Structure 1
Amino acid sequence: MRAAIVTAPDTTEIQEVPTPSVGSNDVLVRIRACGICGTDTLYIAIGGLPPRHGCMPIGHEPAGEVVEVGRDVSGIAVGDRVVVNPMALADDIIGNGGSAGALADFLLIKDAVRGRSLEVVPHHIPYEVAALNEPMAVALHAVNQVAPRQSDQVLVLGAGPIGLGITIALKSRGVGHVVVADILPSRLEKALKVGADAVINSREDDVTARLIELHGPGESMWPNRSGTDVFLDAAGVPAAVETALAAAKRGATLGVVAVHKEPVSMDFMNIMSNELTIIGSMGYPSEIFEVTKDIVDNWEKYQAIISHTFDLDDLQGALQCVATPGAADKVVITLS
């Protein structure tokens, strides 16, 4: 079978590798779609992770069709359409330094348990949409971390795939007013399409002033604060954090889910005097299949997040698309 393997820094190859054998507790999935994540590009840049540096399989956002089921596995049948938890086995994480990646024709789910390592989705859900399950679990965990109330007013900074997923999750749980800020008009259009109540072009507009128009003024010992209750950083640039903290009223919350590649300075007098809460978000401790129902119920909204699909044989074109700033939202590899 074919599999995408990181063979050296900045080098990924499609190689022929043995198709896995299925044990009594395992399930074999024919991969039909797999998203490309920013961490995939990081692994490629550094040549993979130990102990598989230089020979690391990648891909951890899969959806596929069950083609073989071990005799001791229950609740899963051949022909089922499934999404996968790549972190089900802590010592063998799929596509993140483990022995297998999901950018391949087949993926072996070891010690398969429905609801823990994989879950069934209806056949009418397109495979490429089902492949959003893992990154959308990341987005849902970010929302769960800040625990918004329905009465809250929220600003999402960044309208990439995670920011759009956060927007859908916020509206699915009934949050009253969600604003999305980004510098790309095309992404702001998508934010409105998936349910944002308003958008701000942060390249052209004064974000704080616009927030005050939308959310009213906020209580603070400092002037020019907005009534925004929750800020979610899905941008990963210092300006996003700086913008949120400059606009935050007393008691506001800032959630950080984006990966920051450089340190961000903060005015701790502002944080202290306004009693701000800053909370991080990483992965999906419990959300990997919690998000699945919402994807099934609202799959057409989630489909808008996908901007490009590529065949596995055109992996290099897909990676170039991902690496080009502003060129793509979510890129998904499809396999026939």
Structure 2
Amino acid sequence: MRAVVMQDRRLRVAELPDPVPGEGEVLVDVLACGICGSDLHCAQHGAEFNEAVKTAHGVGMFDLKRPIVLGHEFVGRVVAYGPRTTGRLPLGSRVVSVPALARPARTFLGFTGPETPGGYAERMVLSETLLLEVPDHLPTEQAALTEPLAVAHHAVARAGLGADDVPLVVGCGPIGLAVIAVLRMRGAGPIVAADFSAERRRLAEALGADVVVDPAQESPYRSWAQATAAGPHGAAPGVLPGGKSRPTVAFECVGVPGVVQQIITGSPARTRIVVAGLCMTSDSFEPAQALLKELELRFAMMYSPKEFARTFAHLAGGDFDVAPLVTRTVGLDEVPEVFASLSATPEDAKVLIVPAR
């Protein structure tokens, strides 16, 4: 099969042996796979990412000495069953899955070698017990958004969103846009969103943001403060704890040093700040400011299998209007060039790889 292989921070298309499903596993043809910001980070900062995972969890995410087949936002079509499977889904069924194999040694797909490739390949193996069948009415391109929407679902859950909370989303890349979609599904609002890119601001509006701000022209924190004073609970935003303005929650979806501190400076008292952006370098902030405002700083990463399944149920049920998230589809041969462009330009949101293209 053909696959995109990452090694020594470079991507290339290679011919690889087809993966072989083990016990309880199935072989699928990859129909579509999203390019995630963490994939870009792995290509640019693989060693730093690995070191962070080792420090946090005691094990490495991947072996940088070997070729890696990225891709953890995928939709596949079942083409063969391995040993000791039930065959519960007909061959040809479209499926999604959490990007992991249910093996004694947990394997995270998209961060491993050619024997268990991620979705940047024509074929991959999945665990039968983790498969979720894609219904006929759900387009493959939207089903491929299950994983990033699950990340956003988890980030919103980490915020402990209340009925009156006014959210601010800083950064309208794929995760920020997905957070907006989840917030809209949850009925939160008004939703304030900020991004320097005009294209992404338009996407933020399409996905449900009520107030969209260009930080180069105006302060998103001023617009956010005005939004907290709107509605039946409205009052002038308070500066000290105990003010009468509506409660606030901020989502940091950029992953660039300095943004957390900007949010701390701009946030009203008692704001909950959820960091969903993956910053691969050291950062700093002023804890005294956060303390004086009694801010809460929370971090969100990944999701549980239940959250993944719940997100997919919402997607299949039509609770999300996320079609605008997909801005381009490409073939395997285009991936190295796309990686370079995504790292330098903000025009795209979610780019999908279609191996058969």
The one of 142, 162, 166 aligned to 1:149: 162
Check 1:196–1:78 CA distance in 2 against 1; reply closer, same or farther (3 A cut): same
User: Which amino acid in the other structure matches residue 92 of structure 2?
Assistant: G
**For this pair of structures, how many residues does the alignment match?**
330
Q: By how many angstroms is 1:73 displaced? A: 2.7
Q: Which residue of the partner structure matches residue 3 of structure 1?
A: 3
Q: Which residue of the partner structure matches residue 117 of structure 2?
A: 100
User: Which amino acid in the other structure matches residue 135 of structure 1?
Assistant: P
Q: Which residue of the partner structure matches residue 187 of structure 2?
A: 174
Q: By how many angstroms is 1:263 displaced? A: 3.2
Q: By how many angstroms is 1:83 displaced? A: 1.0
Does the Cα contact within 8 Å between 1:322 and 1:331 map onto a contact in 2?
Answer: no
User: 273-282 or 234-243: which moved more?
Assistant: 234-243
Does the Cα contact within 8 Å between 2:261 and 2:286 map onto a contact in 1?
Answer: no
**In 2, distance between residues paired with 1:164 and 1:60?**
18
User: Which amino acid in the other structure matches residue 265 of structure 1?
Assistant: S
**In 2, distance between residues paired with 1:23 and 1:285?**
24
**In 1, distance between residues paired with 2:203 and 2:247?**
22
Does the Cα contact within 8 Å between 1:57 and 1:101 map onto a contact in 2?
Answer: yes
**In 1, distance between residues paired with 2:187 and 2:244?**
25
User: Which amino acid in the other structure matches residue 173 of structure 1?
Assistant: R
**In 2, distance between residues paired with 1:83 and 1:167?**
22
User: 206-215 or 150-159: which moved more?
Assistant: 206-215
User: Which amino acid in the other structure matches residue 41 of structure 1?
Assistant: L
- Once the two structures are superposed, what CA deviation does each residue of 1:274-321 show, in whole Å capped at 9, x if it has no partner? 211110011112422221122223487212111111011222232233
User: Which amino acid in the other structure matches residue 93 of structure 1?
Assistant: F
**In 1, distance between residues paired with 2:264 and 2:174?**
23
Does the Cα contact within 8 Å between 2:177 and 2:325 map onto a contact in 1?
Answer: yes
Please give the residue correspondences for 1:236-275 in structure 2 after superposition, counting only pairs within 5 Å. Answer: 236-275=255-294
Does the Cα contact within 8 Å between 1:47 and 1:53 map onto a contact in 2?
Answer: no
Check 1:142–1:88 CA distance in 2 against 1; reply closer, same or farther (3 A cut): farther
Check 1:102–1:297 CA distance in 2 against 1; reply closer, same or farther (3 A cut): same
Q: Find the residue that maps to 1:57 and give its secondary structure.
A: coil
**In 1, distance between residues paired with 2:245 and 2:280?**
28
Q: Which residue of the partner structure matches residue 335 of structure 1?
A: 355
Q: By how many angstroms is 1:164 displaced? A: 0.7
Q: Which residue of the partner structure matches residue 316 of structure 2?
A: 296
Q: By how many angstroms is 1:140 displaced? A: 1.0
**In 1, distance between residues paired with 2:166 and 2:268?**
12
Q: Which residue of the partner structure matches residue 317 of structure 1?
A: 337
User: Which amino acid in the other structure matches residue 286 of structure 2?
Assistant: D
User: 234-243 or 154-163: which moved more?
Assistant: 234-243
Residue 27 (1) aligns with residue 44 (2): no
Q: Over aligned residues, Cα RMSD in angstroms?
A: 2.4
**In 2, distance between residues paired with 1:320 and 1:226?**
44
Q: By how many angstroms is 1:23 displaced? A: 4.1
Q: Which residue of the partner structure matches residue 233 of structure 2?
A: none
User: 13-22 or 138-147: which moved more?
Assistant: 13-22
Q: By how many angstroms is 1:32 displaced? A: 0.6
TM-score normalized with structure 1 length: 0.89
- Once the two structures are superposed, what CA deviation does each residue of 1:170-206 show, in whole Å capped at 9, x if it has no partner? 1111213211111112111111111111111111102
Percent identity, please.
Answer: 28
Q: By how many angstroms is 1:225 displaced? A: 11
Does the Cα contact within 8 Å between 1:191 and 1:199 map onto a contact in 2?
Answer: yes
Q: Which residue of the partner structure matches residue 71 of structure 2?
A: 59
Residue 129 (1) aligns with residue 142 (2): yes
Check 1:225–1:186 CA distance in 2 against 1; reply closer, same or farther (3 A cut): farther
Q: By how many angstroms is 1:226 displaced? A: 7.2
Check 1:227–1:300 CA distance in 2 against 1; reply closer, same or farther (3 A cut): closer
Does the Cα contact within 8 Å between 2:166 and 2:227 map onto a contact in 1?
Answer: no
Q: Find the residue that maps to 2:38 and give its secondary structure.
A: helix
User: 134-143 or 224-233: which moved more?
Assistant: 224-233
User: Which amino acid in the other structure matches residue 77 of structure 2?
Assistant: E
User: Which amino acid in the other structure matches residue 27 of structure 1?
Assistant: V
**In 1, distance between residues paired with 2:288 and 2:237?**
17
Does the Cα contact within 8 Å between 2:38 and 2:278 map onto a contact in 1?
Answer: no
Q: Find the residue that maps to 2:282 and give its secondary structure.
A: coil
- Once the two structures are superposed, what CA deviation does each residue of 1:135-185 show, in whole Å capped at 9, x if it has no partner? 111111100100111221110111111011101111111213211111112
- Once the two structures are superposed, what CA deviation does each residue of 1:242-271 show, in whole Å capped at 9, x if it has no partner? 332123222210000101233333222222
Q: Which residue of the partner structure matches residue 35 of structure 2?
A: 36
User: 238-247 or 80-89: which moved more?
Assistant: 238-247
